[in-house]
Chain A
Amino acid sequence: MNYKVPSILVFMAAAVLEVSLGGMASIYGIKPGLILISVYALSVTGTEGKGLMYGALGGFIEDCLSGGFNGLFLSGYAIVGFLAGKAGKRLFNIGESANFIGIFVLSLVQGVYTALMMSAFIGGYDVVNASLRFALPQAFYNAMAGALILWLFKEQIARRTPWLKVIRQLRVRL
């Protein structure tokens, strides 16, 4: 229970920043997905179950604040959270370049999923075109912004993740 309240605050802060200031950071209509980055950051240091929950929560907030179908981001971010939680301990290490690849791949997965869902509900929606036009640049932008944000908050993230501390200590010894 103790991790739920701060995570809701993180998501709400990310959502407010996305809605109010996202336009300023937008490049050709693509802005950094702060909620997705938050889902990744919280899930990669947790388990797949927690990741799924974080993803569903972040996605629900994004659904409420965007003009799409309700459930679209909830399910997409749940996939991201689940995969990030599953891969977290094995592959990623906060503050390292792996985060860039992690966010890029998961953001791309979410983007392609979104395009597929939109093609199912909006007539004439081109999945390939949308994936190239939105999902790919969005994934790249998220990866850039996410790697930077995680690097800035690496100490705070490491503090709440005991296994990460151990990895770091081992690295220092090696």
Chain B
Amino acid sequence: MFRYIAKNKGIIILALVVLSCFLWMTSQVREPGKPSLLERGVGATAYPFVKGVSSISSSASGVWDGYFNLVGLVKENQRIKDYNSRLTQENTRLREELAKNTRVEKLIAFREETGYSVVPAKAVGRDASSWFKSVWVDSGTSDGVAKNMPAATALGIVGRVLRAYSGTSRILLITDPDSAVSCVLERSRDAGILAGQGTDLCRLQYVATHADVKAGDVVLASGLDGVYPKGMPVGVVVKASKAGAGYFQEVLVRPSADLERLEEMLIIKYEPPEMPREEHAAPPRRTP
């Protein structure tokens, strides 16, 4: 027995690691808790580097864009080239600022329109793996961000806060396979659950075959999940098919917000309206 264990020590340890991880994952499904101390440590250690590399890469791409237009002007004299490069850089910077201002203006208009208290956040990094869809943002618990707060752009819902650390948070995008949003179709008011697939399209599940769904229909949050505010745009139906379906249609939805090019967003301090409590009063005593 002991000889067998000693001989297969590696496989036994691996099996124990896999089993422990399985139990760990099971416990998270049952009871999603706060990030552990180690997890927060890794997050806090990695975040400054992520932010640093992200800012270097964005400024490098800005410089690259600035110089890109000058490739054909190699034979021009140096003075004009330098002058031109300076102007191009400045122009790129100004255009970038203008674009940023336009986006921020839209976000401000969105905030005023909805009336929610919001926290502005800037995307600084993407999910480390290709399997999940999440983004890192530069606002955290110190800014009032908490778990499960919805995040949105002026175009629509982006996702919800998965983890909130002191100066940073991770937003789970609606395209993530683990994401689900309770939705309703704007035109027909048919309801469904929008589930991510890990690709740029989401699937609207549990839409009955008799429901009136067409490509181009706007999908809104129903507010029933207690996470996303009612009426916020989520996406647009790109395909609705009844072929081969049993009780439900196959409905594909493209998110309204451009999740592949997320830059700024708002984290909404949304508190769902309280559900009326059911009074469990004792049944009236029968009186003779």
Contacts and interface: CB of A to CB of B under 8 A. Distances in A.
B57 A20 contact: yes
Contacts of B42: 60-61, 64-65
Nearest to B23: A71
Nearest to B124: A20
Contact of A29 (B128, B130, B134): B130
Contacts of A79: 14, 18
Contacts of A33: 129-130
A125 B128 CA distance: 21
A165 to B, nearest CB: 25
A129 B154 CA distance: 33
A63 B133 CA distance: 13
Interface stretch (B44-52, B236-244, B268-276): B44-52
Interface stretch (B65-73, B78-86, B195-203): B195-203
Interface in B128-162: 128-134, 136, 162
A98 interface: no
A73 B131 CA distance: 10
A40 to B, nearest CB: 16
Most buried by B among A19, A33, A124: A19
Interface residues of A, number: 52
A74 B21 contact: yes
B127 A66 contact: yes
B43 interface: yes
Interface in B171-219: 172-173, 176-178, 195, 198-200, 205
Contacts of B11: 82
Contact of B49 (A16, A125, A130): A16
B17 A75 contact: yes
A64 B37 CA distance: 11
A71 B25 contact: yes
Nearest to B39: A64
A31 B130 contact: yes
Contacts of B101: none
B129 A20 contact: no
A65 B177 contact: no
B131 A124 contact: no
Interface in A110-152: 114, 117-118, 121-122, 124-125, 130, 133-134, 138
B24 interface: yes
B13 interface: yes
B59 interface: no
15 contacts: A16-B46, A19-B50, A49-B9, A66-B134, A67-B173, A67-B178, A68-B131, A69-B28, A70-B24, A70-B28, A75-B21, A86-B10, A122-B177, A122-B178, A124-B195
Given A65-B128, A68-B132, A75-B22, 15 more contacts: A18-B128, A18-B129, A19-B126, A21-B53, A48-B10, A61-B128, A64-B46, A65-B127, A67-B127, A67-B173, A67-B178, A74-B21, A75-B18, A118-B131, A133-B199
